[in-house]
Amino acid sequence: MLTIRSVPYLGRILAPSLAEAASKYLAAASWDRRRMLHTRVNEKTLFDYMSQGIDVNLKMGTPPETLLRRSNEYMKKAALHRLEKPDAPCLFQYGPEAGDLRFRQELSHFLSQEYMDPVQVDDIIVTAGATQGLAMLANLLFSPGDLVFVEDPTYFIGLQALRQDCGLHCVPVPMDENGIIPEELEQYLKERSSIKPREIGGRKPFWSMLYLIPTFHNPTGVCLSATRCRRVVQIARKYNLLVVCDDVYNLLAFSQDEESALQRKRLFAYDDPGDPDYSGNVVSNASFSKLFGPGLRLGWLEAPLCVRNVILSSGLAFSGGGLNHFTSGLMTSIISEGLLQKHLTEARAMYKVQCEAVCSVLQEKLPSAMFTIPEMLCSSVRKI
């Protein structure tokens, strides 16, 4: 993942805190969106207004049209494969609360291979994408006014969802070139540990949330080291935090060897149920949006039992059943027929070439810029 160091810390330059910087940015962005809403009724996608007259747009966190066309072809094949089966009409019915079992089985097998680490079927709950997953966790497990600790900087729209939509009070925690600083996090927790805005227990068992992007952090691109991952888990257990990990980029790493897999091991795997002090403090919130196409609105949680129980006994689950049941049925065929693996291989190769191009242009046209070159590119791009 490519990062220009001057950009992620822009909030600290423009304002004394992440919250103030984000508020100013979001206010401007919201005004821009409102101003353009009346002209967007005929647009086909969320980003049409950003793409007009632009050949290369680095603002959009979405797969390029080339890959989306391939997704379209794979989905056609998957639809024919799945809808010809005798039980296909079941896809039009309300689905099981946790999601279709066959889909979760295929997904757990696929993820176990990709992560090179076991993924349990029972841990998986299907969502309508990572944004919906975050909103669901925040609304079901926390109350307005609760604290949520976030990296400084963090994904600005995630911040908007937590603050504006869920009414949580965001506390920015400093980062360095290696990610969130555990010592700073614990100090912030100590200073606020006496704050108890509500009764803790029952359907709201956690005191606070830590919203984290531990792998290919947005916007800095860094991965949290194994040492820091273990320390964050220890802190979460000590202070009764739920760590919600935005794990949407993990599978896009250029390198797929065992060493690389260990470096980007998801934080959820460090919260080991075999530990004597285990209570289940980490959730992995992932999505197909960056892997296959955001229009699917399909994702998944890996969650501990205490979190799954709250979600699966909610009115949301009782009323609507499993989220995006039909689409998950088609994705079952995409995974089982090897189409997702093929698509990911193509996407990684394309992103690697594009990243090499960006690094080369920056070095040639903007030699004073400081940026980190992904390790997989060091042999082909001169490292500054």
**Residue 40: which pLDDT band, with cuts at 50, 70 and 90?**
low
Q: How far apart are CA 260 and CA 277, in angstroms?
A: 29
In contact, 267 and 284? CB cutoff 8 Å: yes
pLDDT of residue 378: 44
pLDDT of residue 170: 96
* pLDDT higher than 60, residue 366: yes
* pLDDT higher than 80, residue 297: yes
pLDDT of residue 88: 96
C-alpha distance from residue 348 to each of 113, 175, 208 (Å): 16, 27, 36
Token pair belonging to 243: 């760590």
**Residue 12: which pLDDT band, with cuts at 50, 70 and 90?**
very low
| Predicted structure pTM score | 0.87
pLDDT of residue 46: 72
* pLDDT higher than 50, residue 68: yes
Instruction: Pick 325 or 54 by higher pLDDT.
Output: 325
Q: How far apart are CA 21 and CA 156, in angstroms?
A: 10
Instruction: Pick 159 or 103 by higher pLDDT.
Output: 103
pLDDT of residue 10: 32
* pLDDT higher than 80, residue 29: no
Tokens 């068992």 appear where? Answer: 205
Kindly provide the residue ranges of all beta strands, DSSP E only, lying in the chain, ordered along the sequence.
Answer: 3-4, 124-127, 147-152, 169-176, 179-180, 208-212, 241-246, 282-287, 299-302, 371-372
Helix (H) or strand (E) holding 70: helix 65-83
Using a pLDDT cut of 90, give the percent of the chain over it: 68
**Residue 1: which pLDDT band, with cuts at 50, 70 and 90?**
very low
- Average per-residue pLDDT in the chain? 87
**Residue 373: which pLDDT band, with cuts at 50, 70 and 90?**
confident
C-alpha distance from residue 357 to each of 102, 255, 348, 365, 379 (Å): 40, 18, 14, 12, 14
* pLDDT higher than 50, residue 166: yes
pLDDT of residue 9: 33
* pLDDT higher than 90, residue 54: no
* pLDDT higher than 80, residue 38: no
pLDDT tens digit string along 239-279?
999 999 999 999 999 887 887 777 789 999 999 999 999 99
Closest Cα partner for 341 from 119, 109, 124, 127? 109
pLDDT of residue 3: 44
Q: How far apart are CA 303 and CA 305, in angstroms?
A: 7
What average pLDDT does the segment 305-332 reach?
97
pLDDT of residue 23: 54
What average pLDDT does the segment 147-157 reach?
95
* pLDDT higher than 60, residue 108: yes
* pLDDT higher than 70, residue 17: no
